[in-house]
Amino acid sequence: MHNATLSEQLFGQAGASSASAEAYLVDRRELSFFLWEQCRLEESFLGHEPFASTDRQRVEALLDKAQAFAAKLAAAYRPSDLEGAHRADDGSVVVPKAFFGLWDEFRRDWGWVRRLGEQSSTQGTAGEGIPPLVVQAITEMFMGANPAFMTYGGFTAFAMRLIEQHGTDAQRATFLDKLANDTWDACYCATETQAGSDLTAIATQAEPLGGDVYALTGHKRYITAGMHPLTENTVGVVIARVKDPVQRAFSLSCFLVPWRWPEADGSLSANHVECDHVEDKMGFSGCANTHLVFGRSGTTRGYLLGNRPDVALPQLITLMRSARISTAQFGVAMASSAYLHSVRHATTRIQGRRFTENADAGAVKVPIVEHFDVQRMLLDMRSKVEGCRGMIGKLVAHLTHVERLIAASSAHGNDSSVRCATLAELDRHRKMVLLYTPVIKAYVSDEAWRIATTAIQVHGGVGYLRNGPVEQYARDIKVLSIWEGTNYMQAQDLLRDKLNYGRQSTLLRYFEEDIDAFMTQRGRWPALSAEFDVLQSAIDALRLALDRVRELSAAGEFMVISQFCTRFLEIFAEVVLGWVQLEIATVAADRLAALPEGDAQRPFYSGKLKSARFYLHDTLGAVAFKADTLRRSSQTFIGVTADEFGPVPRRETAVARGAKAPASMA
Ligand SMILES: Cc1cc2nc3c(=O)[nH]c(=O)nc-3n(C[C@H](O)[C@H](O)[C@H](O)COP(=O)(O)OP(=O)(O)OC[C@H]3O[C@@H](n4cnc5c(N)ncnc54)[C@H](O)[C@@H]3O)c2cc1C
């Protein structure tokens, strides 16, 4: 078989890219499929308020423009990694040079895309009337093209929502306009050296100065885009404790700390926030992850959010949710490009002969895409990339429905029957956003890392070299499973807070109703009956796993449950991914039935069908086994004491980096 045809059949048309954007590959045909065929954007949303002013042409034009900007971002991807960010001797922070021009353009044309998940917040901007699903596609291009650049101002929209929801009128007046036009930006400052996952260990203190103004002292670690010269001012959303003689474990408060203090006359004065150093890290080199110090060289002033102490955690719920959705988006954005690079490499790299012709010296050598093990890797990557995009898409579709319903309810004014129905529907969509958030944050970030390492494997030795993009993707992706709450914290959140250990959870009921509604349509696709069977078995296994969790919680066996949270999240996410893949397969099957033999579009859809079948039969089948380990938790639970891991190496015997190993260890 001609190899171009083979790759097209398996993988569709990969990687339309301009020369300047070599680092970033995007498949626009794939994004179009996602929006128009998979999510049915036109039928479900366009034509309804608040999206009635938008048609397909407008969306495609916007995507073209976004792709052109992504190409500019991509041109700076590698150089900004090499250049990195650092602290200068004068204490200022230096960022990659290319970011200045990119920031100006981003701010002018694209600032509104940050508002994904922030209802109606694109009003009055160039993005007015654009559904969040389209914003998802645009954001994916930007985050895949230059993830480090996209961290700058990455918290601005989330901070705005926080201030809109919880700030005092005066705080809104001080911050919102500046943040809305990106003159200022925001960052999130929770972590300290001793307080990572455990925020109760936060030690930064705030002493009242009068009114809602406090003096902050302490330090914050790893802060993403925490100090930089791209904006006039940065506002830290800082978590600290109001100084109190009685130390209370959960007394965390949220402060708005501008790095430069806005005076009554509109001028800005020093607020004594120092960057001690920029972290030297594995990836995201162009992003300044700063170690910040407050109140060392003078008084650092901050406003207590809403002038309400001790309520930081409930205030921050929306901000954290948005940041987690954004993390999943980073993951799929980079993983998608890594996958497309792999397809491109596999179709051009000639190596070896076909498995059955190995011993025949005269047999023709083939591109590695002809080797079935390489196809296995590519199908694994592809099904996960498209599945993860679809999982995020499910959440974003719920957000899009929220916007539609809010617009509909204001159009119906005081008609109480319509209002009640709308409120019930609204509640349902909002709850599904809550349910999917920890799932996508954890699963997509873990899978994106696996996809990036598989991309290196497909590339062989060149994948390991620094002059190609896939190793940079791997380095950049890894942190996604760590920041915004480690993936274990997401798993715990899913099982405990969202699913209530399987006990009377409304979120679970809504989820089951949605997936069951899809499954009841199986009769329409008899050719996919085996795939529907696999998904049904996985759903049944998920229910059994949840039954077991319910039993364990009723028996008070929470330590046992804690060992299985991560596995449970994985099972849950794989079921959702299987659902997404089967939805894709049904669309592809319908299209294939309608297209004549030999039509140029057929390989795109037959490739989708193969990829879905691969995922459902190869990966989803393992869900039953994983669920069974939970069912057998009395045998599989392992509580290990620290000394059972063996003697802990003492510091003095550990070999320092770069030091010569002692003879006994060499
Ligand atoms: C590049 C980068 C950017 C960041 N950006 C920001 C930022 O902008 N703002 C900010 O505030 N922070 C930021 N962080 C900090 C980040 O949120 C923390 O690193 C993260 O919360 C984990 O904390 P930790 O590193 O102290 O790990 P730890 O909390 O020490 O965790 C180590 C391991 O132990 C596990 N663990 C910890 N506690 C438990 C538990 N109770 N039960 C089970 N397992 C547990 C964790 O899951 C993890 O696997 C950033 C970090 C990095 C690396």
Nearest CA to ligand 1 atom 11: 190
Q: Which amino acid is at 442?
A: A
With tokens 């980073």, the residue in question is: 330
Local structure of 616: helix, strand or coil: helix
Please give the distance, rounded to the nearest whole angstrom, from the Cα atom of residue 630 to the centre of ligand 1.
26
Cβ contact 537:575 at 8 Å: no
Please give the distance, rounded to the nearest whole angstrom, from the Cα atom of residue 498 to the centre of ligand 1.
21
- Average pLDDT of the segment spanning 317-322: 95
155 CB within 6 A, ligand 1: no
Kindly tell me if the per-residue pLDDT of 15 is higher than 90: no
Q: What is the DSSP string of 154-201?
A: TTHHHHHHHHHHH--HHHHHHHHHHHHTTSEEEEEE--BTTBSS-GGG
> Residue 437 and residue 391: Cα distance in Å, rounded?
10
pLDDT score for 327: 98
Reported confidence tier of residue 665, pLDDT bands at 50, 70, 90? very low
Reported confidence tier of residue 5, pLDDT bands at 50, 70, 90? very low
**23-74 tens-digit pLDDT:** 899 999 999 999 999 999 999 999 899 999 999 999 999 999 999 999 999 9
Kindly tell me if the per-residue pLDDT of 654 is higher than 90: no
- Greatest CA span in the chain, whole angstroms? 87
Kindly tell me if the per-residue pLDDT of 114 is higher than 90: no
Alpha-carbon dihedral sign for residues 190, 195, 199, 201? negative
Write the CB contacts of 522 (distance below 8 Å, at least 6 apart in sequence).
528, 529, 532
pLDDT above 90 covers a percentage of the chain that reads: 82
Q: What does the DSSP 8-state code read for residue 24?
A: -
Average pLDDT, the chain: 91
Nearest CA to ligand 1 atom 36: 197
Please state, as a whole number, how many other Cβ atoms lie within 10 Å of the Cβ of residue 642. 7
Please give the distance, rounded to the nearest whole angstrom, from the Cα atom of residue 317 to the centre of ligand 1.
17
Q: Which atom of ligand 1 is nearest to the CA of 191?
A: 11
- Average pLDDT of the segment spanning 162-172: 97
> Residue 171 and residue 181: Cα distance in Å, rounded?
16
Cβ contact 371:355 at 8 Å: yes
pLDDT score for 652: 63
510 CB within 6 A, ligand 1: no
Write the CB contacts of 266 (distance below 8 Å, at least 6 apart in sequence).
none
Cβ contact 371:347 at 8 Å: no
481 CB within 6 A, ligand 1: no
Nearest to 399 by CA among 318, 502, 332: 318
Kindly tell me if the per-residue pLDDT of 118 is higher than 70: no
* Backbone torsions φ then ψ of 59, nearest 5 degrees: -65, -45
**353-368 tens-digit pLDDT:** 999 998 898 999 999 9
Please give the distance, rounded to the nearest whole angstrom, from the Cα atom of residue 493 to the centre of ligand 1.
15
- Average pLDDT of the segment spanning 656-660: 50
pLDDT score for 4: 40
621 CB within 6 A, ligand 1: no
- Average pLDDT of the segment spanning 562-591: 97
Q: What is the DSSP string of 269-337?
A: EE--EEEEEE---SS-TTS-EEEEEESSSS-EEEEEGGG-TT-HHHHTHHHHHHHHHHHHHHHHHHHHH
- Average pLDDT of the segment spanning 647-654: 70
Residue with the larger pLDDT of the pair 146 and 637: 146
CA distances from 647 to 115, 644, 666 (A): 50, 8, 19
> Residue 187 and residue 403: Cα distance in Å, rounded?
26
Question: Rounded to an integer, what is the distance from CA 236 to the centroid of its chain?
Answer: 22
Local structure of 1: helix, strand or coil: coil
Cβ contact 143:333 at 8 Å: yes
Reported confidence tier of residue 656, pLDDT bands at 50, 70, 90? low
> Residue 146 and residue 142: Cα distance in Å, rounded?
6
> Residue 618 and residue 376: Cα distance in Å, rounded?
10
Six-digit token pair at 276?
């001690």
> Residue 47 and residue 50: Cα distance in Å, rounded?
8
pLDDT score for 506: 92
Please state, as a whole number, how many other Cβ atoms lie within 10 Å of the Cβ of residue 529. 10
Strands 205-210 and 233-242: parallel
442 CB within 6 A, ligand 1: no
Alpha-carbon dihedral sign for residues 463, 464, 467, 469? positive
- Average pLDDT of the segment spanning 198-213: 96
| Residues written for the chain | 666
Q: Which amino acid is at 68?
A: A
pLDDT score for 638: 82
- Average pLDDT of the segment spanning 427-433: 96
Q: Which amino acid is at 549?
A: V
End-to-end CA, the chain: 52
290 CB within 6 A, ligand 1: no
Question: Rounded to an integer, what is the distance from CA 384 to the centroid of its chain?
Answer: 14
Nearest to 217 by CA among 279, 168, 271: 271
Cβ contact 448:385 at 8 Å: no
**488-510 tens-digit pLDDT:** 999 999 999 999 999 988 999 99
270, β-bridge pairs: 260
Please give the distance, rounded to the nearest whole angstrom, from the Cα atom of residue 201 to the centre of ligand 1.
13
Write the CB contacts of 633 (distance below 8 Å, at least 6 apart in sequence).
548, 552, 557, 560, 563, 564
Best-predicted range by mean pLDDT (12-21, 23-32, 243-252): 23-32
Question: Rounded to an integer, what is the distance from CA 569 to the centroid of its chain?
Answer: 16
For a substitution probing ligand 1, which of 93, 158, 197 has the most ligand atoms within 8 Å of its CB? 197
pLDDT score for 307: 98
Q: What does the DSSP 8-state code read for residue 234?
A: E
> Residue 497 and residue 488: Cα distance in Å, rounded?
13
Kindly tell me if the per-residue pLDDT of 240 is higher than 80: yes
pLDDT score for 9: 44
Nearest to 507 by CA among 422, 431, 565, 433: 431
Please give the distance, rounded to the nearest whole angstrom, from the Cα atom of residue 485 to the centre of ligand 1.
6
pLDDT score for 666: 28
Please give the distance, rounded to the nearest whole angstrom, from the Cα atom of residue 511 to the centre of ligand 1.
29
pLDDT score for 592: 98
479 CB within 6 A, ligand 1: yes
pLDDT score for 589: 98
Local structure of 499: helix, strand or coil: coil
For a substitution probing ligand 1, which of 93, 187, 486 has the most ligand atoms within 8 Å of its CB? 486
pLDDT above 70 covers a percentage of the chain that reads: 91
Q: Which atom of ligand 1 is nearest to the CA of 195?
A: 26
What is the value of pTM for the model shown? 0.94
Please give the distance, rounded to the nearest whole angstrom, from the Cα atom of residue 286 to the centre of ligand 1.
20
Is the omega angle on the peptide bond into residue 50 within 30 degrees of 0, that is, cis?
yes
pLDDT score for 3: 40
Q: What is the DSSP string of 547-587?
A: HHHHHHHHTT-HHHHHHHHHHHHHHHHHHHHHHHHHHHHHH
Kindly tell me if the per-residue pLDDT of 298 is higher than 90: yes
Q: Which atom of ligand 1 is nearest to the CA of 187?
A: 8
pLDDT score for 120: 47
Nearest to 197 by CA among 216, 222, 225, 227: 222
- Average pLDDT of the segment spanning 176-194: 96
- Average pLDDT of the segment spanning 517-535: 98
Reported confidence tier of residue 414, pLDDT bands at 50, 70, 90? low
pLDDT score for 657: 55
* Backbone torsions φ then ψ of 290, nearest 5 degrees: -105, 145
pLDDT score for 1: 36
CA distances from 402 to 101, 323, 397, 433 (A): 35, 19, 9, 10
Instruction: Specify the DSSP element, H or E, that contains 138.
Output: helix 132-145
Residue with the larger pLDDT of the pair 658 and 373: 373
CA distances from 103 to 88, 107, 108, 183, 557 (A): 21, 6, 8, 11, 52
Cβ contact 472:338 at 8 Å: no
With tokens 């000394």, the residue in question is: 643
- Average pLDDT of the segment spanning 71-84: 96
pLDDT score for 284: 98
- Average pLDDT of the segment spanning 401-423: 78
> Residue 326 and residue 323: Cα distance in Å, rounded?
5
Instruction: Specify the DSSP element, H or E, that contains 541.
Output: helix 529-554
**90-104 tens-digit pLDDT:** 999 999 999 999 999
Please state, as a whole number, how many other Cβ atoms lie within 10 Å of the Cβ of residue 152. 27
pLDDT score for 245: 66
Nearest CA to ligand 1 atom 31: 197
For a substitution probing ligand 1, which of 482, 492, 559, 640 has the most ligand atoms within 8 Å of its CB? 482
pLDDT score for 418: 65
